[in-house]
Structure 1
Amino acid sequence: MAVRDSASLLVGLVVLLHTWRAWAAVEVNMKDKVEVNLGEKAQIPCLYTSDDGIGGLTIEWFYEKGLGVKKRFFQQAGLMKTVDNSTHFTERISVNHSNNTMMLTIRDVKLEDQLDYICAVKGLTDGSGEGRTKLRVFVKPEPPTIEGVQNGISVNEEVTSLVGSCEVKNGYPRPNITWYKDNMPLRINKNEVEVESTVTTQSSGLFSVKSELKKKIVKEDKDALFYCEVTYFVAGSTMMSETRQINVNVLYPSTAVKIWVESPKGKIKEGDSIELHCKGDGNNPSSLFLIKYLKGNANWENDTVLLENVTRQNSGVYECISTNTENFEDISNNTEVFVNYLDPAVVMPNNVMVMAKGNELKATCNALSSLQTKTAWFKNGQEVSEGHTLILKNVTFDTAGVYKCVVTVPEIEGMTTSSSLRVHVEGQPEIMETPLTVIETFDKTVELVCDVRGYPAPTITWIVSDGMVPDSDNHMTTTDYGTKSVVMVDVTSNATAVCNASNEHGTDMRTFNIKAKTKSNGFIIAVLIVCVLLLAILGSVLYFLYKKGKICGRAGKQDLTREKSSKDNIVVEMKSDNTEEAILLGVNGEKQPPNDQ
């Protein structure tokens, strides 16, 4: 019975001890992973539970490179801390304890710090426990670049052609590249869309990725935009970046051509330069173009033609022919060119028209043109009539002159022609009114003007009362309405000059009275008075300058003092800067004693 009780007691102690140890076992909790960007600070917490205080615990930190190989880099036994010096991050770590938490801090994280970190806690009475955290390090790559092929790609290629390449450098972990066409991702399809990627690991451990897109090009790709999307990872998130968009030079044959006049825009007139262009709707640099002038049987082996200084003879049909050099098939189209013209203006009657006073003038002006014209008549720059016909009734000498007919084409700027008609009105001479017929002059010569209307052009002669006959022939000109004479007459005394004008229809005359004037004595006296006043003003100015010491060439400071003596003598005191002696001089320059002042 005693033995049985003893056995029962022993079993109970064993069970109690086992239960106590289960309740008091060490527990360690750590995060599965901690993410940090290159160069930043990483913090890895280790949370533990234990009935033993910190003084009864041993805490160790390890890192694991792989294959289960662990290396310790930190130990804390009680309150004693030890940092191993043989690790690559010894100088960059610190471990702090607070409220059952051991915090491992790694400063300036390097790529080689990406390891598994193990926290092991061992108690004196309640056993041990450990946990681990994986540290992940991220590096943002450089912005991606894209390059398209420089040469054109033909739609007739039977295999896929290289469209372009994308590259992203120095990222970690490895970035991913996806190709897009017009905002839609391209799916790999054998013989249609192929993508080849190359991954390079740099000496720094960073990754660079290059991706090449090959595609079977079709005509619809001529307007497509291709670009790359790069996906990369940073601490706590996934980022994306896009390249610029590129276009492919797609080569495809033409199915139609067109020919047109590139310049001038609008209607063409004679004298213009015409630039003809021929182009197909394809994109094939090897295509051949030929422009033919069907009317003149002229050919130009080019896709552009320049015709300079064209005439109406250049009007006609021009044809463009495009030849595909791959299959030598021709396609063509044509356009009609019309060169507008405006012939020189013709005035009837021609050039000169002689009329009698009082009659009616009627003239016509016409110019043959391919377009509607507008006609106007001008005299002396002023418009006098509009339309092809000029009618002037009851003509006078004022009607005589040159009439200019101007024909324009309103639809085309600068398309104009003109012609002139000179009109003479017959009649006896009429001397036009002169502002002055009585002339007063102080000069020795005087200019006389005699302006005469009439046709035939009147002959002008001059007679002066003193018997002198001026040489009028050298000063006579023909005008639109008659003759004009300008003569110079010598004046020695009062005289009379007569202008005589004559033609086959009669005569007219005009008298000019010339009064010779002399300068009077009153004028001479007035001039003398003005001169005297000017001399007086000049004297006052000179005296003022003298008083101020501005003239006479004095050196140094001098004071001139004018005083009266008892004998009414004028005394001048002269002072020098170099002596205090005063010298008094009389009006005759004799030295005066000081008491005579």
Structure 2
Amino acid sequence: MFTLGFVCLLCISTGCFPKHIVFTLMSFIVHLVSGLGTVMGKYGDTIEIPCNNGRVVEAEVTFVKWKYDKDGNILVKNQDQNTTVFSDVNYKNRVSIKQDFSLVITQVAMTDQRTFTCMVVLREDILEYPVQLAVYNVPSEPQITNLTTVMEIGKPTTLAQCRSEGANPAANITWFRNKTPLMTDGAAIKITTNVDVDKATGLSTTTSTLEYTAVKGDIDAKFTCQVQHIKSANMDSSPLVFTVNYPTEKVNLQVVSQGPFKEGDNVTLKCTADGNPPPSSYNFYIKGEKKTVDSNTYTLTSVTRENTGEYQCSLVDHEDIVASVPITVEYLDVVFSSTGKIVKKLGESLEMNVDVKASGAPQTSWKKGNAKLNSQPKFDKLMYSDSGVYECVVSMAGLKKTHTFELVVEGSPVIKNLIKERGEGMTKVLKCVAEGFPKPTVQWSVNGSNAESVSEHGKVTYSLTIVPNGNLSVSCTVSNVLGFDIKSINVSLFSTIRSADQKDEKSDQTILAVGIVFGLMLAVLAIGLAYWLYMKKFRQGSWKTGEKEDGSTEESKKLEENQSQKADV
């Protein structure tokens, strides 16, 4: 009891409970400590009040009387007689006495909160045992009334009332913001508490009203009220969340569409404000021109590079509250010096020029067929191997331009090699390897079985299979629209069987050498015979005429010696 009293005094000094609640508690506690005995009963229940804490010896008692306060008589009981209940309107139908002389009261009411005295008459003495009855009742759960939904920053607003009924002593109500108790500060927070006592029941109803001045930090804050009572656990209301209205202080402009942007795209701008409720319309400044729309978005359709620049939005009624955002429209223009099919002559030079105009730094890559090139192709002296399809890709910021061209290197045909090989049986295979473009055609000087195989870079091999019937000189002629080339090779019927190539070539060379020697011998014989006939005729003419020969004898001898040398050759 002493502890409860001390707590109440402490609460008065610190303000943890309203004073009217503390005084009620003090009054309740006074009832508990004022008598020799104390009994607590719950409102509406049946309560037993003991006589001398049940230590009265029945055999020694001749008379028992229960009374209340000073003059209120409840009932009497004489030894060996029935109980007599007085006609007191407060207790006539609600009291009885037990065998141990305890007083039983049904339907305990607040009016029963008083002092009851058990007077006991013994054979030699009269004793009185006063008992203090304290009646309590648990309050109802918190009820929220007069609830508002919107707060405005800087403006005091009555948020709600919290009500709890049927308590004794009266319940206390505390307001919380995010589980932190609120206290009246005379400025931003004002809490008004009222306690009303029901005249019929004597029970108390506590009502607490919260008036609050909101700040931005109260957005999404949770407010609750808590009912506190000495005879029950604390009871919390459901959380209350209020809409906090406040004026716009700044706006923000953002690009909703996903960049980077290229010409032809649509770009959507969105303007937002930090106020609540947000504005329903905004000003958008498009290339310096103000456009007021009943929305917070504006869409630029089919943008071009001219749309690159700074864009703004503002409040309609406060144009000085403005935000801006830059927009860049990417573009990529690529011009090639040559397109389509490019025809060049063998040995000529070629350089491809690419003119790029872009909003940023593009990346350029080259390919020939499926092979990647390390650099832009440049040809100082074109070869057949340079022919092919080239692809150039220029890319930047989601943009890509692709260009292809076909390079054709042309040249008149040239026979690079003419060889012969031994075929099956008596056949021989002649191979004429030529280079040129367009692909040359072939013409052999003899008939045979023709075949051809094309290799890369303008080379083609023509094959001719023949069965020679003697010593032949076979020629290969290759030609295209740009010119022709011809080469010959000797082919012999007889050959010494050695290796595939060497056998035929050596046998042909031997036959050729023998033919040359035989021809030279015939030539020498013919020259000697002619000289002999000439000399014979010349000398016979001199003898017939008797004429003297021109020149000296010495000159004649020299002439004869020269003629003899020619004949020997």
> Which bin holds the TM-score, normalised by the shorter protein?
0.5 to 0.7
Instruction: Report Cα offsets for 1:112-160 as digits up to 9, x if no partner.
Output: 79644543322222113131221423325325558852245364x6xx4
Structure-1 separation of matches of 2:383 and 2:121: 138
Query: Given the superposition, is the C-alpha separation of residues 333 and 130 from structure 1 closer, same or farther in structure 2, using an over 3 Å criterion?
Result: same
Instruction: Give the SS at the match of 1:367.
Output: strand
Question: 1:34, 1:44 within 8 Å by CA — same for their partners in 2?
Answer: no
Please tell me whether the aligned partners of residues 376 and 406 of structure 1 are also in contact (alpha carbons under 8 angstroms). Answer: yes
Give 1:422's aligned residue. 406
Counterpart code for 2:404: S
Indicate yes or no: 2:191 matched with 1:187: no
1:153-232 alignment to 2 at 5 Å?
153=152, 155=154, 160-168=156-164, 171-181=167-177, 183-187=180-184, 189=186, 193=190, 195=192, 197=194, 209-215=206-212, 217=213, 219=215, 222-223=218-219, 225=221, 227-232=223-228
CA contact (8 A) 1:377 1:383 kept: yes
- Structure 2 vs 1, CA of residues 375 and 150 (structure 1 numbering), >3 Å: closer, same or farther? same
- The answer to whether 1:270 aligns with 2:266 is no
Q: Which residue of 2 aligns with 1:553?
A: none
Shift in CA distance, 120/322, structure 1 to aligned 2, threshold 3 Å: same
Structure 1 residues 463-507: Cα deviation after superposition (integer angstroms, max 9, x where no partner)? xxxxxxxxxxxxxxxxx999xxxxxxxxxxxxxxxxxx9963689
Identify the structure with the greater strand proportion.
1
Amino acid at match of 1:136: V
The match for 2:390 is 403
2 CA distance for matches of 1:284 and 1:221? 16
Q: Which amino acid aligns with 1:350?
A: T
Unaligned runs of at least 5 residues, structure 1: 1-28, 431-452, 460-479, 483-500, 508-597
Rate the CA distance shift 1:229–1:54 in 2: closer, same or farther, 3 A: same
Mapped contact 1:317–1:334 kept (Cα < 8 A): no
Q: Does 1:32 align with 2:38?
A: yes
Distance 1:59 1:421, change over 3 A: farther
2:336 to 321, 344, 347: 347
Distance 1:88 1:382 in 2: 114
- CA distance 1:121–1:263, shift in 2 (3 Å): same
Among 326, 335, 356, the residue aligned to 1:367? 356
Match of residue 149 from structure 2: 150
In structure 2, how many angstroms separate the alpha carbons of the residues matched to 1:362 and 1:202?
A: 111
Q: Assess, with a 3 A threshold, how the Cα gap between structure 1 residues 48 and 241 changes in structure 2: closer, same or farther.
A: closer
- Secondary structure (helix, strand or coil) at the match of 1:313 reads helix
**Contact 1:166–1:210 (CA under 8 A) maintained in structure 2:** yes
The DSSP-based 3-state class of the residue aligned with 1:404 is strand
Superposed CA offset, 1:566-586 (max 9, x none): xxxxxxxxxxxxxxxxxxxxx
Larger Rg: 2
Matched residue type, 1:57: V
Contact 2:224 2:237 in 1 (8 A): yes
The CA distance in 2 between the partners of 1:358 and 1:67, in whole Å, is 141
Alignment deviations for residues 392-419 of structure 1 (CA, whole Å, 9 cap, x no partner): 687666644432222222xx4x333322
Is residue 305 of structure 2 the alignment partner of residue 312 of structure 1?
yes
Query: Does residue 240 of structure 1 match 2:234?
Result: yes
Cα distance between partner residues in 2 of 1:344 and 1:365: 10
Q: Deviations over 1:159-214 (max 9, x none)?
A: x4322333445655442223345635231648973636585969998765543323
Partner of 2:481: 504
Q: CA deviation at 1:332?
A: 3.4
Query: How many angstroms apart in 1 are the aligned matches of 2:381 and 2:97?
Result: 123
1:251 matched to which residue of 2? 245
Contact 2:173 / 2:227 at 8 angstroms: preserved in 1? yes
Between Structure 1 and Structure 2, which shows a larger proportion of helix residues?
2
Structure 2: distance between partners of 1:103 and 1:70:
15
The one-letter amino acid paired with 2:159 is: V
Unaligned runs of 5+ in 2: 1-34, 415-434, 442-455, 459-477, 485-569
TM-score with structure 1 length normalisation?
Answer: 0.52
8 Å Cα contact 2:175/2:224 also seen in 1: yes
Q: Deviations over 1:29-85 (max 9, x none)?
A: 85234265987x9665443699x9421215757586x8964534xx76558886989
Give the direction of change, closer, same or farther, for the CA distance of 1:379–1:263 in structure 2 (3 Å limit): farther
Amino acid at match of 2:210: L
- Does the C-alpha gap of structure 1 residues 138 and 397 become closer, same or farther in structure 2, counting only changes over 3 Å? farther
- Work out whether 1:71 is the aligned partner of 2:77: no
Matches within 5 A, 1:454-533: 504=481
- Measure the CA separation in 2 of the matches of 1:176 and 1:187: 15
Please point out which of 57, 61, 86 is paired with 1:57: 61
Are the counterparts in 2 of residues 259 and 276 from structure 1 also a CA contact under 8 Å?
A: no
Identity of aligned residues (%): 19
Measured after TM superposition, the shift of residue 383 of structure 1 is 3.2
Q: 1:30 to 1:339 in 2, by over 3 A?
A: same
Q: Distance in 2 between matches of 1:429 and 1:204?
A: 128
The answer for the alignment partner of 2:124 in structure 1 is 125
Q: C-alpha root-mean-square deviation of aligned residues, in Å?
A: 5.2
Gap change, CA 1:135 and 1:314, over 3 Å in 2: same
* 1:289 corresponds to: 282
CA–CA separation in structure 1 for the residues paired with 2:457 and 2:143 = 89
> For the residues of structure 2 that align with 1:63 and 1:400, how far apart are their CA atoms?
130
* Secondary structure, aligned partner of 1:331: coil
Contact 1:264 1:275 in 2 (8 A): yes
Find the residue that maps to 2:320 and give its secondary structure: strand
What is the deviation of 1:358? 6.1
What letter corresponds to residue 504 of structure 1 in structure 2? V
> Counterpart amino acid of 1:71?
I
